Copies of this chain bind each other. A is one copy, B any other.
Amino acid sequence: MRQSQLFTKTRKEAPADEVAKNAQLLIRGGFIHKEMAGVYSFLPLGLRVLDKVEDIIRQEMNKVGGIEMRTAVFQSKEVWEKTNRWDDAVVDNWFKTKLKNGGEMGLSFTNEEAYSNILKQYISSYKDLPVYPYDFKSIFRNEARSKSGIMRGREFYWKALYSFSRDEAEHAVFYERMKTAYQNIFNAVGIGHRTYMTFASGGTFSKFSHEFQAITDAGEDSIHLDENSGIAVNKEVYNDEVITELGLRKENLVEKKAVEVGNIFSLGTKFSAPFDLKYKDKDGEDKLVIMGSYGIGLGRLIGTIVEILSDEKGIIWPASVAPFAVHLVDLAAGDNDVSAYAEKLYNELTACGIETLWDDRDARAGEKFADSDLIGIPLRVVISKKTLLEGKVEVKMRSTGGTTIVEKEKVFELARGCDTTTATK
């Protein structure tokens, strides 16, 4: 895409009321627009990142046998009364609204009830199980505070998968597969090295749930991490008994601030019981379905990537989720030879399927470089009168800052190298 056709522009300053680094950088770079506290629109650059994160998650969900659907935002009172979660006194972060001709409806804040209600229609025999439906959708939570940018939205976009299994043994096998899928996702989006599986509070049906916590000072959670084993314990369940049970040693644990970028949870029959979600087993006996839930907030994940992978100049996108693979910057400044060369290279890169943002604007070199650092595309390719005379181009990796002069052909190789994840799209 030509940058002159991208309607967004970079900004020197974020809105004064925006205190979170992730939102400040994303707003300044033109990735998101703040509608109000905790509510952001995704501008073209931001949507490109969101789509890539979504595709990475989708691939992992499909690999474990997930089947995608899309549930409605509006939730009916009758369905939620089955689990006693309709009442605002029970769930304190509902957004509700009213039908013109009477009747209240809720806005999705989670999906257990909707899924249990739908699956109830289709599950009757052991042959119908297991199934692993999932959803990408907008979720709404009436949070009192919302100061963490896109890491804690009142409106946010998430993936939720629910597992419906015949028994605890079948559930346990899938649960382990999801641990691996989640690790794969956090590795793929570039924060695997900072993300730890963390024991957190469970519920009636399991002692622990598992959170994936990414270490950053911007986090709202505290975890106790054993860096050697890579195992962590959420502060909420941290005590001597738990430490012993998990085979950890207190002296090896370090307290860290972290963001919960994903969680997986064994639900047992908590939802299948109130929905009477049963199947007939091979002996004709009625049994309750065993459920699990597996969530990832995409905005929070993107916010965390920005918190971890950024410097004083801007964002440093991993290639897998970068809005473009190459930022082609021409310093033509009115020189037609330079523009023509840049256009030719832009067309060649695009024809090769290498996603390229071409800064074809009539602007000073310093401004173009500052914008490029802020937007954070992995590979920058600079075309100037000087490089043109040498018959070469200048390349710079955003992550290392190192600049080299290379043959034009080398750009294709470098771009592919830094674009391996998106290439699988």
Out of B39, B100, B143, name the residue touching A72 (CB < 8 Å). B39
A126-140 vs B, CB cutoff 8 Å, 1 = contact: the mask equals: 011001010000101
A184 in contact (CB, < 8 A) = no
A67 in contact (CB, < 8 A) = yes
Chain B residues with Cβ below 8 Å from A70 are: 41-42, 47, 50
Give Cα A96 to B123, complex, Å: 36
The DSSP consensus for interface residues of chain A is mixed
A48 and chain B: residue at smallest CB distance: B68
Task: Say yes or no: A105 contacts B8, CB within 8 Å.
Answer: no
Chain B residues with Cβ below 8 Å from A6 are: 67
Out of B67, B98, B143, B154, name the residue touching A5 (CB < 8 Å). B67
Least CB distance, A75 to chain B, in whole angstroms: 7
Beta-carbon contacts under 8 Å, A73-100 to B: 73-76, 79, 92-93, 95-100
Query: What is the size category of the interface that chain A forms with chain B?
Result: 35 or more
Task: Say yes or no: B114 contacts A35, CB within 8 Å.
Answer: yes
* CB contact under 8 A between A41 and B100, given known A7-B123, A76-B35: no
A93 and chain B: residue at smallest CB distance: B100
Specify how many copies of this chain sit in the oligomer: 2
Out of B36, B44, B128, B133, name the residue touching A105 (CB < 8 Å). B36
* CB contact under 8 A between A73 and B142, given known A7-B128, A67-B5, A131-B7: no
A179 in contact (CB, < 8 A) = no
Give Cα A170 to B67, complex, Å: 45
Task: Say yes or no: B40 contacts A69, CB within 8 Å.
Answer: no
Chain B residues with Cβ below 8 Å from A9 are: 122
Chain B residues with Cβ below 8 Å from A75 are: 35
Chain B residues with Cβ below 8 Å from A100 are: 92-93, 142-144
Chain B residues with Cβ below 8 Å from A273 are: none
> A33-B121, A41-B118 provided; 4 other pairs, C-beta below 8 A?
A4-B127, A35-B71, A72-B155, A74-B154
25 contacts between A and B (CB under 8 A): A4-B127, A5-B67, A6-B67, A7-B67, A7-B122, A9-B122, A30-B122, A35-B74, A35-B75, A36-B76, A39-B105, A41-B69, A42-B70, A44-B69, A47-B68, A72-B155, A73-B138, A74-B155, A93-B100, A97-B97, A99-B142, A99-B154, A100-B143, A101-B144, A138-B138
